[in-house]
Amino acid sequence: MLAHYRHFNHCPRCGAPGRGAESGNPFRCEACGFVLFFNAASAVAVFVVRADGRVLYTRRAKDPARGKLGMPGGFVDEGETAEEALRREVAEEVGLELRTLRYLCSHPNAYPYRDVRYHTLDLFFVAAPVDPTKARSLDAVESLEWLDPAAIAPAEIAFDSMRRALADYLGTQVP
């Protein structure tokens, strides 16, 4: 069940050998009593919607899912709210300022990065840009596309959580 935590073979506090994935969730150190819960990391993404109904998609410049479509967003930093993280990520990735955010949905996701599988809880929002003409490819973004969300093939979307959020946005089921 927790084989993806196999790299936890020592206690992060005292360094004593542990039982890796066999110790389950939480990881419990028999030597010092340390307990580590394997919780999902928080991530955010947004459907940036222009007045004509088209949504801003990024082409990912890096793995995972290099070249696939995604929405602007990223990980929530310690001390940030989801809304603060989203506004920061959108400014960093596409240079936009957003109007009021509306929460849409959340979906779990697995994010593979450098041989570690991070489990996330992805929070999705909908927002209008203050000025859509200012959108540009910045951090980790190969290119930008304003697309009709109903015309996107699910296989083009980078992550399962994003495919599910798109279905929620469109009011349909995931194919």
How confident is the model over 94-103, as pLDDT tens digits?
999 999 999 9
Domain ranges, ordered by start, for the chain: 1-38, 41-170
Q: Whole-model pTM? A: 0.87
pLDDT in tens, 24-73: 678 788 899 888 888 899 999 999 999 999 999 999 998 889 999 999 99
> Contact at 8 Å (CB) between 18 and 6?
no
Q: Class of 41-170 per CATH?
A: alpha beta
Q: Catalogue the E-assigned strands of 71-159.
A: 73-75, 102-113, 116-127, 141-147
- Residue located via tokens 């196999």: 6
Residue 173 has pLDDT above 90, yes or no: no
Q: In which band, very low, low, confident or very high, does the pLDDT at 20 lie, cut at 50, 70 and 90?
A: low
pLDDT at 25: 77
Percent of residues, the chain, with pLDDT higher than 90: 69
**170 with 149: CB under 8 angstroms?**
yes
Residue length of the chain:
175
Q: Is the pLDDT of residue 2 over 70?
A: no
